[in-house]
Amino acid sequence: MRKFRLSTTTLALLCAVSLGALGTADARPGGGSSIGSRGSHTWSAPPRTSITPGWARPMDQSATPRPSPNYGNTPGYAAPRPMPGFGAPAYRQSYPVRHPFLSGFAGGFLGAGLFGLLSGHGFMSGMGGGTSFFGFLLQVLIIGGLIAFFLRRLGGNRGQTIPTGLSSTGGTTPFSGASGSTPVTLNNDDYLSFQRLLLDIQAAWSAQNMRALSSMATPEMTGYFNAQLSDLASRGARNIVSNVRFLRGDLSEAWREGTLTYATVAMNYSMTDVTTDSLGNVIDGSSTEPVTVTELWTFVRADGRGNWILSAIQQAG
């Protein structure tokens, strides 16, 4: 019996070492990674909030394809202008911008004058027939004044920019979605739903209840959860999250795309996060010391039907 107990203890230690080497910390739902989709905002950083003052970590896994390098032709993404000194030359206009009407107007005057000189009738001979040098200078000054006048009138509005983008509902940075997305306002019932989903998803995760998880998350997120639980099971491990307490939350942004409404919320919560082996021995975490986590959870719902469900989890920067 002593040898058996020794063998069992040795096996448990070996399992703990191997599982620890494979990385079971952050075994909570999402595995401490940034996963899921946020519609056209998937590859854009969520606006900062009071509890997430730094940028969120970009997606590690997502069913939404990354935008092509040619951002200008990709719907929903602005074409970024390279910044000087950051791997790209400063933006420089290749040729001066010309007003089509002004170019034709001035070109007509100059063309007529040059034609007059070449034909021997003097510069702009048709405008008074000046043949002296003084008359020539006078006509040049008149033409120069006319060109300057039209430059001021037709070019006066140049340099004015039309503001683009809308302020996000809850963040401090410009609304960064696609042109087809518009900001929306949430109510208290929405925030209560987000808190409830946080607690219910953690409970279903600990119970390894995939059916319950699939009713509270998108198929994409359900697939990630299933793969994570299967990976733990293949190692002979199980993650149990308990005593989950929602501490505070802050809306990052909420928007609508077509018939879908999205909301990204910074969630700060505490929990007891324990990973055990097949014999029930704790191999990671503590059953007595709670941990505090801050993540950005994105929820989605179809307008007019259905409830909010989880579509992405991102780690705070």
User: What is residue 58's three-state secondary structure?
Assistant: coil
Percent of the chain clearing pLDDT 70 (strictly above): 57
**From CA 220, how far away is CA 229, in angstroms rounded?**
15
Q: How confident is the model at residue 149 (pLDDT cuts 50, 70, 90)?
A: low
Kindly report, residue by residue over 261-288, the tens digit of the pLDDT.
999 999 999 999 999 998 889 999 998 9
Is the pLDDT at 9 greater than 50? The verdict is no
Amino acid identity of residue 193, one-letter, is S
pLDDT above 90: percentage of residues in the chain: 52
Q: How far apart are CA 112 and CA 160, in angstroms?
A: 34
Q: Which of 55-59, 145-149, 164-168, 242-246 shows the lowest mean pLDDT across its residues?
A: 164-168
pLDDT of residue 104: 43
User: Which residue did the predictor score with more confidence, 211 or 2?
Assistant: 211
Q: What is the pLDDT of residues 23-36, one digit of tens each?
A: 445 789 999 999 99
Model pLDDT, residue 180: 72
Query: Which tokens sit at 225?
Result: 């959860």
Kindly provide the residue ranges of all beta strands, DSSP E only, lying in the chain, ordered along the sequence.
35-36, 181-183, 237-257, 260-277, 282-285, 291-302, 305-315
117, pLDDT greater than 70: no
**pTM for the structure as a whole:** 0.62
Q: What's the pLDDT at 250?
A: 97
Q: How far is CA 4 from CA 1, 9, 11, 307, in A?
A: 5, 9, 10, 53
Residue 174 near residue 242 (C-beta atoms within 8 A): no
Residue with more model confidence, 133 or 139: 139
Q: Which of 147-151, 249-253, 287-291 has the highest mean pLDDT?
A: 249-253
Pairing, β 35-36 against β 237-257: unpaired
Per-residue model confidence (pLDDT) at position 198: 98
Q: What is the residue-averaged pLDDT of the chain? A: 73
Over 60: is that where the pLDDT of 53 sits? yes
Residue 84 has pLDDT above 50, yes or no: no
Mean pLDDT of 188-215: 97
Quote the longest CA-to-CA distance of the chain: 126
What pLDDT was estimated at residue 55?
85
**How would residue 177 be classed by pLDDT, with cut points 50, 70 and 90?**
very low
Radius of gyration (C-alpha) of the chain in whole angstroms: 33
Please write the tens of the pLDDT for every residue from 249-259. 999 999 999 99
Measure the CA–CA gap between 35 and 57, rounded to whole angstroms. 10
Give the type of residue at 78.
A
